[in-house]
Structure 1
Amino acid sequence: MDTDAPLLGEPLPVELMNTVWADRDGVHDALRDRDGVRAWLRALCPRTDLLTPNDLDELTASDLDRLIGVRDALRRLAAEVTEDPRPTAASDPSALEAAVTVLNEAAGDTPRWSALSWTPGRQPARHTRTSGRAIAATVSAIAEDAIALFSQDTRHQLRACLGPGCVLYFVKHHPRREWCSAGCGNRARSARHYQRHRGTTS
């Protein structure tokens, strides 16, 4: 089963934020149940050296809760950084401190470290090792990447997509990028064209 979540090639913390997404039928949660979480993590396997498809058999209710808690914390922090005006981003200002706590706890939950392998006649390679379960280590790694994203100047490149009905976030790597995807850009241009046309005919 493939994940419902849009995968836009964003950093993993942003991909996790975007497991809440919207279409014409409303707002959806790709992590709504165990199958949804498993599908999203399976899609991530090629992007992390901590997780393999076989590890997904170990998914627990605690893993699901931790991943959703980190996702919700990331969305709260992203709303703060981007000054997100969308109604779906509104939250109690005290939730900021709670979001930071969730993120810090998740980052420290499962230790990870780098290990070097080097066989004579081959190129050296870096691998990530963990003392815990791969799923828990992956959630911790995403949380740590998020701490790097929010604590460095790169946080100023984070954007809330203001396309009609969109609830996604993206990192603005190109100065002309305004939307999370070409589809959102097309919908926004169509909406502007409609408003201009309606304004001239009324």
Structure 2
Amino acid sequence: MSTRIADLDPGGAPLLGEPLPVEFANTRYAVRGVPQEGLAEPEHLAAWLRDIAPRLAGPPSDTALLAVDAADLAAALDLRECVAALLRATMTDTAPAADVATRLNAYTRAAPHWRELTWPTASTRTEAAPIAAVLAELASATIDLVTGPDRAELRPCHGPGCVLHFVKNNPRREWCSAGCGNRARVARHYQRTKNAPRI
């Protein structure tokens, strides 16, 4: 029986509606403070790309997703490491390691692209392999994020044990998700009641 794209195991990485570079960095996450790898297998990468496809300018075909292999996964993990380093550097207002920008730029150069009119719409075209094209798009989106107006709004989640990031789109937002906010409130309540004097 052949594998269907809809049946691919997503690996558990959360999708929270953040900008794609943040979503990509967040594929390394934590459950109750225990680090988890959302892209442990090529199948996980293919499923994650399937799930973000509607947000991509040049989404890969089902055939390309079913062909994701260990080399594609290794490239994606290397790019994710660059993206995470750039997000951390941006949030802490520090410079990333010297090779991070060089590695990220290699991904953007690997898939030159152009727009073509396909009346009555336009589409993005490239001669790069499908997964290389997606990685180039993620690398370009990272450059836009860390150099654009949202850079000042990048935040780490303050939820207990959470390692995710988000773009603060509301002045009161301090967590990546409502679940982390609830856990933080429960933890604060526990600390207050634990330390309260007994009558």
TM-score normalised over the length of structure 2: 0.88
Of the structure 1 ranges 52-61 and 66-75, higher mean CA displacement relative to structure 2 is found in 52-61
In structure 1, the partner of 2:69 is 60
Cα separation, 2, equivalents of 1:130 and 1:64: 20
Aligned to 2:194, which of 155, 174, 198? 198
| 1:170 lines up with 2:166 in the alignment | yes
- Maintained 8 Å contact 1:169/1:180: yes
Cα separation, 1, equivalents of 2:87 and 2:95: 15
Secondary structure of the 1:173 match is coil
| 1:134 lines up with 2:130 in the alignment | yes
Which 4+ runs in 1 deviate beyond 6 A? none
Secondary structure of the 1:170 match is strand
TM-score normalised over the length of structure 1: 0.87
Cα separation, 2, equivalents of 1:165 and 1:30: 16
Cα separation, 2, equivalents of 1:127 and 1:180: 32
In structure 2, the partner of 1:90 is none
Secondary structure of the 2:123 match is strand
Within 5 Å, give how 1:97-176 maps onto structure 2. Answer: 97-118=98-119, 124-176=120-172
Give the C-alpha shift of residue 6 in structure 1: 0.3
Secondary structure of the 2:170 match is coil
Give the C-alpha shift of residue 24 in structure 1: 2.5
RMSD after superposition: 1.9
- String of CA shifts for 1:134-165, please: whole Å, max 9, x gaps: 11100000100100111123111111112100
- Maintained 8 Å contact 1:45/1:52: no
| 1:27 lines up with 2:35 in the alignment | yes
Give the C-alpha shift of residue 180 in structure 1: 0.3
Give the C-alpha shift of residue 82 in structure 1: 1.7
In structure 2, the partner of 1:47 is 55
Percent of aligned pairs with the same amino acid = 43
Cα separation, 2, equivalents of 1:48 and 1:81: 24
In structure 2, the partner of 1:14 is 22
Cα separation, 1, equivalents of 2:181 and 2:24: 22
Provide closer, same or farther for how the CA distance between residues 94 and 49 of structure 1 changes in structure 2, counting only shifts above 3 A.
Answer: closer
Give the C-alpha shift of residue 94 in structure 1: 8.2
Cα separation, 1, equivalents of 2:169 and 2:95: 31
Cα separation, 1, equivalents of 2:108 and 2:116: 19
Secondary structure of the 1:71 match is helix
In structure 1, the partner of 2:91 is 82
Unaligned runs of 5+ in 1: 85-92, 119-123
Secondary structure of the 1:66 match is helix
Secondary structure of the 1:165 match is coil
- Maintained 8 Å contact 1:45/1:53: no
Of the structure 1 ranges 37-46 and 49-58, higher mean CA displacement relative to structure 2 is found in 49-58
The amino acid across from 1:109 in the alignment is A
Secondary structure of the 1:137 match is helix
Query: Matched residue pairs, number?
Result: 189
In structure 1, the partner of 2:80 is 71
